[in-house]
Amino acid sequence: MSAENGPSVVASAELVVSEVVASQVSVRDLKTHLSEWLGRVQAGEVVEVTSHRKPIARITAVKPAEPTCTNPLQKAIDAGLISWSGQNPVIPPPVKLNDGGPLMSDIVIEDRG
């Protein structure tokens, strides 16, 4: 068997494994054509590895991880803590901190005086 012919048809057989169609492959054939079998797995196929015609392992594709956000603002939006309509924010008028008395900076300067 040449490498360009692909995995041996004799070595693979279709079977149903928990409602998923899987291919069986012998350890020897898997080692010989590993990249081809992994390509099939990556395409979504489930591959069952056999030794002496007995299943010993099952190879399945890894589910892609959900993107994680490191931006704290985006995390707060995703958690529903804040929302944004896409418009410019309405900023309330500034709070007046001085009620007409002397400024704290003036008190400090006078005290150091």
Report whether pLDDT(11) > 80. Answer: no
pLDDT tens for 94-110 read: 887 777 788 888 899 99
* Cβ-based neighbour number of residue 49 at 10 Å: 18
pLDDT tens for 35-68 read: 999 999 999 899 999 999 999 999 999 887 777 7
What Rg value do the Cα atoms of the chain yield, rounded? 33
Domain around 23 = 3-59
Q: Is residue 111 part of a domain?
A: no
When divided into structural domains, the chain yields a total of: 1
Q: Mean pLDDT, to the nearest integer, of 14-38?
A: 79
CATH of residue 21: 3.40.1620
Q: CA dist 9 to 6, 30, 41, 64, Å?
A: 9, 12, 17, 30
pTM: 0.44
